[in-house]
Structure 1
Amino acid sequence: MIELIKKVDITLLQFINKKLRCKFLDKIMPYVTFLGSATFCMVFVVMTVMSKSKEIKNLGFLASLSIITSGGITHFLKRVKNRIRPYIKFPTLNIKKIGVDDYSFPSGHTTAAFSIGVSIALSFTGLAVVSIVIASLVGFSRVYLGVHYPTDVGAGVVVGTLSALCMHMIV
């Protein structure tokens, strides 16, 4: 079963990275991926926590707790798994030079995007579809850019979503 998952993972990676390649996505995916970066997360949290609106301030507080929790889990899992990034293992992948750390599993950008996206969805249900679609695009961008396997992104979705759900239930 594990071998089948690995095979599907590599096939999906190569399909997304090579077959879906186009100039439009080449231009926008580095910007989309930025929405899961540490810089974006910090700006999002500061902007929401500083808001005069109690609801937006609460969103910032929930999102920050989720980002901290999911970030800690992600960092731990990266050090335990030590999964080499796909562009290193498969040098024929199309990649863009973007900032990455050493290990691939799980996707930290996807984790952060889902921490924020699910926090928004739980706090402002009218924005749920938009926030989840944007978070999903961040995950897609990581595979498109050749820096993550689809399973890295899937794990990031789970960690980010569960962190946001837990913070929403606790706070």
Structure 2
Amino acid sequence: MLQNIDDSILLFIKNNMHSYIMDKVMITSTHLGNNGAIWILIILLLMINKKYRKIGFIALGALILSAILGEGILKHLVQRTRPCVNIPAIDMLIKKPTSYSFPSGHSASAFAVAAVLANYFKRYKFVLFGLALLIAFSRLYLYVHYPTDVLTGIVLGLISSKIAIAFSKYLTEKIDSKECRTF
């Protein structure tokens, strides 16, 4: 039943949303998420600046955690074939990925970093989550993930960000309590 829902959503997107302009936007969006490229660039920019370095490290932690859990563990446990492999008649707009489908690594990394950044840069949360959503949706549009892959990637990313933020707060409290005892 879940597979039928996934297939129906992908078919709806294919039949109702594809256009020349959308093709270009989705290809560009998905390329921004390739290997976490846009997020790594943002993290590096934060780490260069002493004022935002800690946030950069927290975002990096969330990104690494989402990659370990998603790409390193879940993909190999579930081994779900991608929709573009299951339905070979689809005209691909990008190169077919060779890894498994579940969960979406693009979605996980996008939401892991966007959630960390939105926590600290509240003014930009709509832009950050908008970019993350665009990258996640591009994976459906380009027929390389099922909706449940993307949804699971989003949840995984959000959980990774919560863990990274909580771990940072824990370390900060530990460091602050040790500094207080030494004086």
TM-score normalized with structure 2 length:
0.85
Equivalence for 2:65: 69
Query: Quick one: distance in 1 between partners of 2:156 and 2:85?
Result: 25
Distance 1:44 1:100, change over 3 A: farther
Q: 1:47-95: per-residue Cα shift (whole Å, max 9, x none)?
A: 221124x1x3222111100010010000210000110110110123342
CA distance in 1 between counterparts of 2:55 and 2:96 reads 28
Aligned-pair CA distance for 1:14 = 1.4
Alpha-carbon distance between aligned partners in 1 of 2:96 and 2:41, rounded to the nearest angstrom:
18
TM-score of the aligned structures, taking structure 1 as reference length: 0.91
Aligned equivalents of 1:159, 1:101: Cα separation in 2? 21
User: Is 1:151 aligned with 2:144?
Assistant: no
**Runs of 5+ in structure 1 lacking a partner?**
none
Query: Is 1:34 aligned to 2:31, yes or no?
Result: yes
Query: Identity over the aligned pairs, expressed in percent?
Result: 32
User: Where in structure 2 are the equivalents of 1:9-28 lying within 5 Å?
Assistant: 9-28=6-25
Structure number, greater radius of gyration: 2
Query: Counterpart of 1:44 in structure 2: which amino acid?
Result: I
Q: Which residue of 1 aligns with 2:41?
A: 43
Question: Aligned partners of 2:57 and 2:96: how far apart in 1?
Answer: 27
Q: What's the Cα RMSD here? A: 1.4
- State the AA in 2 paired with 1:51: N
Paired residues in the alignment total 166
Do the aligned partners of residues 18 and 95 (structure 1) sit closer, same or farther apart at CA in structure 2, a change above 3 Å counting?
farther
Letter in 1 for 2:64: I
Alignment map for 1:31-110 (pairs within 5 Å): 31-38=28-35, 39-52=37-50, 54=51, 56-75=52-71, 76-98=73-95, 100-110=97-107
- Distance of 1:131 and 1:48 partners within structure 2: 15
Q: Is the 8 A contact 2:27 2:94 kept in 1?
A: no
Structure 1 position 99, deviation (Å): 6.2
What is the DSSP-based 3-state SS (H/G/I as helix, E as strand, rest coil) of the residue aligned with 1:35? Answer: helix
| Structure 2 match to 1:138 | 135
Distance 2:40 2:96 in 1: 17
